[in-house]
Structure 1
Amino acid sequence: MGAADIASALAFFLDLLRIDSPSGGEQRAAGACAAWLRALGFAVESEPVAIGDGVSVNLWASVPGDPALAPVLVCAHLDTRWSGLPDVHRQSDGWIVSANEVPLGADDKAGVAAVMAALAHLVRNDRRHPPIHVLLTAGEEIGSAGVRSSRRIHGQLERALVVDAEAPVGTLVEAGYGQARLFLRFSGRGGLGPTSVWRLLQEATRRVGPGLSGELMRLEPDGPGFEAEVAVWMSPDTDWRIAKARYQSWAAEIKRRTSPDDVRSQFLYPAYDVRSSGWLQGVRRRLERERLPSACVRMRDGCDANWLASLGLVPVNVGVGYERAHTREERIHEQSLEQLTTILVAALTEP
């Protein structure tokens, strides 16, 4: 910690990769991050949150700043999609990969590490910045359970910097799609067979409604019967309430036409749009001031940013630089960690 600076993101990241932290099992990773934050002099608290049938923790830290400036919530997530430890290899070309069956976990341990290094740099170099609230969440990979269970996200926080976009470093997410899933189970005793259901669902995904798009994700045997899963994405250009109503009407029609034995609908995350926000433009100006490249995109996959927006915050999600998340081929370049830390420092620094 005594040598913490922008380059220390790599060291933080490699340390985190040695800690198993699947959704619901983030406690050890939270403890390690808490120790790092306390060593920097920050006030740290653990917030118990329900994850599945157990209890895990969100980690909160507060960083004093200029009280004349509006505070910022900085958010990344502690959990990984899969359990186990990757066999970490640092290749000669700078890429960091896993050589075993366990995905690397750069989603989102690289984001957490860059947040740590950026905070260290701000404090040790006495950079002017707003009051910062750090939130390292549990259960993001299972529907942002940590954010949705938190009792500490309150109205005093209006803007957030989320560090969790699967995109090149310098990417700023200006809008995110919402998503729902429809699960249909058929017993196989009479009624429609798999081929008929497949045809009906394929047809239905082509006419979900304005601002919505659908995809049949799977149709597979389940005991003597079969099960189907359909994903529906909701455009940020369509009001969330209207999109949700259209989806529910469409799902009711699917149920009527296919007559499943069991049907379940799940909203994974809401859509949001921050294109017109002053916070997004402010982050872009800060990056331009430091001559750092940036590009604004829409994101189809959801994360904590979607739910923070639904709670009234304006989130700007930042590209972390990892690629092929949740697969054996997941990887991140060493240079991405340094670049991301530089971008976070620029985004949080006031002139």
Structure 2
Amino acid sequence: MINKNRILNLFLDLVKIDSPSLKENDVASFLYSLMLEKEYDVKNDRAGDACGGNTGNLFVRIPATGAGEPIGFSAHMDCVEPCCGVTPIIKDDVVYSSGDTVLGGDDKAGLAIMIEAINHLEEESIPHPEINFMFSMGEELGMYGVKNMDTTLLPAKNIIVLDSGGAVGTIVVNAPSEALISMVFHGKSVHAGIIPEKGINAIQIAAEAISNMNLLRIDACTTANLGRIEGGGAANIVTDLVELSAEARSTKEESLKHQLDHMKKCCTDAAAKFGGSYEFNYEVSYPALHVDEDSLLLAKVEKSYKNVGLTSSRVSTGGSSDSNILSGKGYGVLTLGIGMCKAHTTGEFIAIKSMTDCAELVADIMRS
């Protein structure tokens, strides 16, 4: 049986350690010591050096005690803010935040689940193949840890990522690619009260472009959003510069390209209407994640759900995780729901049973 008190105490220890993105060193040090105590091979790849972080990803190699292909498990160490000074509160076997910070179940519940699962196997002398852990950094800011990871330290070909909301049983089989977009509109600055007809107002250009854009839910697999608009100054000066930040996501490459082309055309038409100019640039931040229906890893995991008496369901998500980057790097990846609720809010909570059920599932996946 999974040790309820042990996993709970580990989870509580973890959430009490401050670890905002790029400042995960304290939780990394805690995990490093914990894994060394068990005489595992632990390495830090210094991925943080490439993105301004104070630690890298931690990799743990757990030697095989039985047959089977190596398998990896991953969860991230950082939390969204406000996440410092977390005071967890337990009520009716559910762990809540105190209400002025997030709880940090995203993703410290994932960390605790991985560690409890291997503790259970070793305590019960249950054989397992070589197991690789990755405790990643910088996930919440854009998966910086896995983008800059040393892949030689994660030799397993298949990785289970414990970082999704929803009930234990959720298996993410589709997740979108994201394009980060920058739009800059240029007009001509003049005195608005004396010679306004000589000016070109960049706010008007931006407003025209925005009003013609399809935004938010585009179709079943595509979304687009404007996140920030900035520009202008004194009311008596025609604004000559407006900057806009946006994103577009889709699980289908052709749909993402179509949306980007549409948004750019809106900018082209608006600039032509008012006589200004614009710049439209984007960068694909991460690739889409697609799990084939005949995936052997998917079949293995679904069998483990049955073994432990849990019902599984395949889902698509509009969010992203380290899984997107790992998949793009050639790993076979599944993201599992771990039962965290209201993540990224100060109302975040997780049931203790969700953690114990998920740890039992992970232990079964780990078995030879």
The TM tier, using the shorter chain, reads 0.7 to 0.9
Residue number in structure 2 paired with 1:346: 364
Residue number in structure 2 paired with 1:160: 159
Is 1:234 paired with 2:250?
A: yes
> Per the alignment, in what secondary structure is the counterpart of residue 305 of structure 2?
helix
Output the CA distance in 2 between the equivalents of 1:232 and 1:325. Answer: 22
Q: 1:206, CA displacement in angstroms?
A: 5.7
Output the CA distance in 1 between the equivalents of 2:217 and 2:93. Answer: 44
Conserved? CA contact 1:187–1:226, under 8 Å:
yes
> Per the alignment, in what secondary structure is the counterpart of residue 181 of structure 1?
strand
Q: Which has the larger radius of gyration?
A: 2
Is 1:20 paired with 2:18?
A: yes
> Per the alignment, in what secondary structure is the counterpart of residue 22 of structure 1?
coil
Residue number in structure 1 paired with 2:348: 330
**Given the two structures, how large is their TM-score scaled by the length of structure 2?**
0.83
> Per the alignment, in what secondary structure is the counterpart of residue 42 of structure 2?
strand
> Per the alignment, in what secondary structure is the counterpart of residue 56 of structure 2?
strand
Residue of structure 1 aligned with 2:292, choices 256, 275, 278: 275
Residue number in structure 2 paired with 1:218: 227
Residue number in structure 1 paired with 2:113: 114
Cα gap change, 1:96 to 1:187, in 2 (>3 Å): farther
Is 1:256 paired with 2:268?
A: yes
What letter is aligned with 2:38? L
Q: 1:84, CA displacement in angstroms?
A: 4.4
Deviates more, 1:217-226 or 1:173-182: 217-226
Could you report, residue by residue, the CA deviation over 1:106-129 in whole angstroms, capped at 9, with x for unpaired residues? 110111111111111122212222
Residue number in structure 1 paired with 2:56: 57
Residue number in structure 1 paired with 2:314: 296
Could you report, residue by residue, the CA deviation over 1:151-177 in whole angstroms, capped at 9, with x for unpaired residues? 235795321100001221121111211
Cα gap change, 1:346 to 1:231, in 2 (>3 Å): same
Output the CA distance in 2 between the equivalents of 1:212 and 1:137. Answer: 28
Conserved? CA contact 1:40–1:120, under 8 Å:
no
> Per the alignment, in what secondary structure is the counterpart of residue 142 of structure 1?
coil
Residue number in structure 2 paired with 1:174: 173
> Per the alignment, in what secondary structure is the counterpart of residue 88 of structure 1?
coil
Output the CA distance in 2 between the equivalents of 1:207 and 1:46. Answer: 39
Cα gap change, 1:248 to 1:38, in 2 (>3 Å): same
Conserved? CA contact 1:21–1:80, under 8 Å:
yes
Cα gap change, 1:39 to 1:255, in 2 (>3 Å): same
Residue number in structure 2 paired with 1:46: 44
User: Percentage identity across aligned positions?
Assistant: 23
Q: 1:205, CA displacement in angstroms?
A: 2.2
Alignment of 1:86-235 (within 5 A): 86-153=85-152, 156-186=155-185, 189=189, 191=200, 194=203, 197-198=206-207, 200-205=209-214, 213-222=222-231, 224=233, 226-235=242-251
Could you report, residue by residue, the CA deviation over 1:36-85 in whole angstroms, capped at 9, with x for unpaired residues? 11222311111101353344211010011257422111110001122542
Where structure 1 has 5 or more consecutive residues not aligned to the other structure, the ranges are none
> Per the alignment, in what secondary structure is the counterpart of residue 339 of structure 2?
coil
Residue number in structure 2 paired with 1:314: 332
> Per the alignment, in what secondary structure is the counterpart of residue 346 of structure 1?
helix
Q: 1:248, CA displacement in angstroms?
A: 5.0
Could you report, residue by residue, the CA deviation over 1:274-319 in whole angstroms, capped at 9, with x for unpaired residues? 1321111111012112222211111210000011000111111111
What letter is aligned with 1:326? H
Cα gap change, 1:195 to 1:67, in 2 (>3 Å): farther
Cα gap change, 1:307 to 1:195, in 2 (>3 Å): same
RMSD: 2.9
Where structure 2 has 5 or more consecutive residues not aligned to the other structure, the ranges are 190-198, 234-240, 272-276
Output the CA distance in 1 between the equivalents of 2:218 and 2:3. Answer: 50
Q: 1:220, CA displacement in angstroms?
A: 4.0
Cα gap change, 1:118 to 1:89, in 2 (>3 Å): same
Conserved? CA contact 1:322–1:330, under 8 Å:
yes
Output the CA distance in 2 between the equivalents of 1:166 and 1:202. Answer: 34
Cα gap change, 1:293 to 1:48, in 2 (>3 Å): same
Output the CA distance in 1 between the equivalents of 2:340 and 2:151. Answer: 29
Is 1:285 paired with 2:322?
A: no
**Given the two structures, how large is their TM-score scaled by the length of structure 1?**
0.87
Equivalent pairs counted in the alignment come to 344
